[in-house]
Amino acid sequence: MQVEYFQVSNTGESRQRSRVYRCEGIVIRRRDFGEADRLVTVLTDDHGKVRALAKGSRRTKSRLGGHLEPYARVRLMLARGRNLDIITSAQVLEPMTHLRREERSILYASHWSEIADQLMAESEQNRFGYGVLVRALTSLELGRDPVITSRICEWEFLAASGFQPELFQCTGCGRQIEPGGNGMHIEAGGVVCPQCHALDPLSRAISNDALRVLRAIGRGDGGLLYDRQLNDDLLKEIEQLLIGYLRSVIERDLQAWQILSSLEDGTTWGTPGH
């Protein structure tokens, strides 16, 4: 049976078919390529991050052109190529037109796309990671607070790539974390108890409220935060912890966040020791 299968599938026609695959995805990056083509990076539901060529998509009459806008949710058909896959057809499922009208929304979408691009693996299915981006962009499209959405999205991308910070046991000595006097040690991968915090200059203090908010996001209750009145200091603390953590994992600056952050409050923040 097995032999027959290989004999049948080894015809030229079948080989051709197996080169083609379909998926749903979100365009996270796009740049011009050659005379009329575009190189498009898509975060997909079944194939992780995919870099593919959209041939002729910059021509005004292109069938692909209008269907590959940044942050749009699309259905794609692709053909595997030797170096790059080729997008053979694209259909818009969710245009996300509202979020593309405002600079602040575009910057948030661009920030999340940058994190996705850095943390999601190529051609490796990660449905959770795909869902993180879909939920974040949909929240933005619906006009929900992008600051809260961004913190949820940042945490969930860390979780989707296996880098979520430890929040319950001290990463220094293993002791269970109790409220009060704790630290967040980015390089060690999570919280430290008051004793370990006092001994390590790289540990930053973390407030009980920030720890509670991160734990809520970690157990999937981030959606509850939209209805809470979180004060600016607490939001800033959580942002600094998550951005510091992401920068340490990605090992580079987050470009969209730097612009966003300077627009939001006129300051940028550095990771300790960097």
Minimal distance in Å, beta carbon 190 to Zn ion?
Answer: 11
For position 172 contacting Zn ion by CB under 5 A, the verdict is: yes
Site string for Zn ion, 194-233 (x = CB under 5 A): --x-------------------------------------
Sequence-separated (6 or more) residues with CB below 8 Å from residue 250: 115, 118, 119
Name the token pair of 96: 């996300």
Give least dist CB 69 to Zn ion, A: 49
Q: Rounded to the nearest whole angstrom, what is the least distance from the CB of residue 173 to Zn ion in the complex?
A: 3
Among 121, 142, 173, 224, binds Zn ion (CB under 5 A): 173
Query: Rounded to the nearest whole angstrom, what is the least distance from the CB of residue 177 to Zn ion in the complex?
Result: 8
What is the DSSP secondary structure assignment for residue 269, as one 8-state letter? -
Q: Which stretch binds Zn ion (CB under 5 A): 59-67, 153-161, 166-174, 238-246?
A: 166-174
Q: Are 172 and 193 in contact (CB under 8 A)?
A: yes
Let me know: does 132 contact 157? Beta carbons within 8 Å.
yes
State in angstroms the smallest separation of the CB of 155 from Zn ion.
23
User: Total residues contacting Zn ion (rule CB under 5 A)?
Assistant: 6
User: Looking at beta carbons only, is 94 or 200 nearer to Zn ion?
Assistant: 200
Nearest residue (CB) to Zn ion, 122 versus 178: 178
**Helices 127-141, 103-119: crossing angle, 10 deg rounding:** 180
* Residue 248 backbone zone (phi > 0: left; psi -120 to 50: alpha; other: beta): alpha
DSSP letter (8 states) at residue 166: B
142 is written with which tokens? 């619906």
Residue 146 in the binding site for Zn ion (CB under 5 A): no
What pairs with residue 32 in β-bridges?
A: 38
Closest CB to Zn ion among 87 and 188? 188
Residue 53 near Zn ion by CB under 5 A: no
- Give the separation between CA 66 and CA 79, rounded to whole angstroms: 20
**In angstroms, what is the minimal distance from the CB of 175 to Zn ion?**
5
Cβ nearer to Zn ion, comparing 19 with 175? 175
Q: Binder to Zn ion among 96, 160, 170, 206 (CB under 5 A)?
A: 170
Nearer to Zn ion, 129 or 172 (CB): 172
d(CA 239, CA 218): 15
User: In whole angstroms, what is the distance from residue 231 CA to residue 60 CA?
Assistant: 48
Whole-number Å distance between alpha carbons of 92 and 71:
11
The residues binding Zn ion (CB under 5 A) are 170, 172-173, 175, 193, 196
